[in-house]
Chain A
Amino acid sequence: GESVGLHLPTLSVQEGDNSIINCAYSNSASDYFIWYKQESGKGPQFIIDIRSNMDKRQGQRVTVLLNKTVKHLSLQIAATQPGDSAVYFCAEIRQGGGNKLTFGTGTQLKVEL
């Protein structure tokens, strides 16, 4: 069935390096995408979002890229810090889907000192 999925379950990076977390989606009707960060024992924390009429959006140390041609979404974290260690989820809202978020399974980001 249609889903939002992630390419890698675990990503290890050195402190100070840039991190790239990827996400594939299969529903062309998706028009809103969000990245969430979830630390152990906590609820998902909003990081950044992007609408389907955009291909790039930047926040503080984070950039989201959207490639609608190949249905691919990525989250780039600059100068990764130990506090960035968490599970990262991409989620989508589909046209006509109200405000229902469809999540992928997540990528575990581990920052090595």
Chain B
Amino acid sequence: DAGVTQSPTHLIKTRGQHVTLRCSPISGHKSVSWYQQVLGQGPQFIFQYYEKEERGRGNFPDRFSARQFPNYSSELNVNALLLGDSALYLCASSLQQNLPDTQYFGPGTRLTVL
């Protein structure tokens, strides 16, 4: 069975640009969450989506947005990129929305902002 997949693997952007990151959950999983992991730190929660609706949002500015599609895949968008947005962006999928539920992570997208 395929795990969580993310694209692209690596991305280099310049300040002020916009980026779109993509995630496909494990087959049958309806919940997708996004996390930002800065080098040397643990992942920080950005968003959770379940059944195409936002079900949770972390402490990130409005430059960050996301959506979930009918096939449960998801996109994370970041506008007006800052140097501090350089990080590994992780997507995690799980079966259910709000029960404590095991989340499985993808390999991440490494974003570098120059």
Contact = CB atoms under 8 A, between A and B. Distances in A.
Does B bind A? Answer: yes
A101 B43 contact: yes
Given A89-B42, A91-B42, A100-B56, A43 B90 contact: yes
B74 to A, nearest CB: 14
Given A91-B42, A104-B42, A105-B42, A99 B97 contact: yes
Interface in B47-62: 48, 55-56, 58
Given A32-B100, A44-B90, A46-B104, A99 B42 contact: no
Contact of B100 (A41, A51, A103, A104): A51
Contact of A99 (B4, B41, B90, B101): B101
A105 B40 CA distance: 7
Nearest to A30: B100
Given A32-B100, A89-B42, A105-B42, A99 B33 contact: yes
A40 B40 CA distance: 11
A51 B48 CA distance: 21
Contacts of B45: 100-102
Contacts of B48: 98-100
A66 to B, nearest CB: 14
A103 B97 contact: no
Interface string B88-114: 001010101111111111111000000
Interface in A43-86: 43-46, 49, 51
Interface of A: 31-32, 34, 36, 41-46, 49, 51, 89, 91, 93, 97-106
Given A99-B103, A103-B42, A106-B42, 7 more contacts: A43-B4, A49-B102, A98-B48, A99-B55, A100-B48, A100-B58, A105-B40
